[in-house]
Amino acid sequence: MTEPQNPEHSTQRLPTVQPVEHGDVLELDQSASSAAYDPVPAKERGEGGGGRFWSARRVPAGILALVVLGGAGLLLYDVAAVRAGHPAMQWRRSLADELARRPLKDVWVLTGAAVATAIGLWLIVLALTPGLRDLLPMRRDHPGVRAALDRTAAATVLRDRAVEVSGVQSVRVRMRRSKVRVRAVSHFRELDDVRADLDTALSMGIGELGLSRPPRLSVHVRRPAKKG
């Protein structure tokens, strides 16, 4: 008896490679890009989605806390000394005199305001964004469990899947949260065949990563550069 054919391994008609005419010489196109194929849909597992992990921001929070604590403590000490009958510190008197003499359009006043504004915007961005861009949230198959996959590890897994494809000499994988860019070099076989096999293998690999939002796949295959 013959086993039923798996639909995932069924053959499909591939586009033919058209010759490119250069003068009197006909050459075959030596590159294949993702424009020639529709990406193979990744497998969907689980129904729940996991949001991004939030960074603790310990270093920025610690630096800000130390700066605020030091400034507040120094100012409080100076105010207490003035209340006790001692003169104010020289830095506070100099700062008050400079602010009283310099107009608002002075270069140093504008520079200080710009620096303070930039630091404030940076702190607001840190407070409102989750951070941890290297962690890719995974699907939540169990409500009480959250997991994430390191982006470098995910790229390594996809690269290992890509080098197993026949005809692939070398691969570079750039993993992002919304898109995976794959650049492969093929030293034999038709480039369109290699491209189709990479599409299938990498699409299955992305589905097996179990990410909550599977990224889109972009694959480009070329011949190795000629030596000399």
Give one DSSP letter per residue of 170-204, joined into a string.
EEEEEE-SSEEEEEEEESSS-HHHHHHHHHHHHHH
How would you classify the pairing of strands 179-186 and 216-222?
parallel
**pLDDT for 185 beyond 80:** yes
The Cα-based distances of 119 to 116, 129, 155, 220, 223 in angstroms read 5, 16, 34, 41, 48
pLDDT (tens digit, 9 = 90+) per residue, 4-61? 444 444 444 444 444 444 444 333 344 444 444 444 443 444 444 557 777 777 887 8
pLDDT at 193 (0 to 100):
93
A 10 A CB-CB count for 50 gives: 20
pLDDT at 64 (0 to 100):
83
pLDDT at 13 (0 to 100):
44
How high does pLDDT run on average in the chain?
Answer: 78
Cα–Cα dist 32/25, whole Å: 20
Under the banding of pLDDT at 50, 70 and 90, the label for residue 206 is very high
pLDDT (tens digit, 9 = 90+) per residue, 95-135? 888 878 888 888 888 998 999 999 889 888 888 888 787 88
Q: At residue 226, what are phi and psi to the nearest 5 degrees? A: -70, 135
Evaluate if pTM is beyond 0.85.
no
Q: Which two tokens stand for residue 183?
A: 């650049």
Query: For residue 8, how many C-alpha atoms fall within 13 Å in the half-sphere facing its CB?
Result: 8
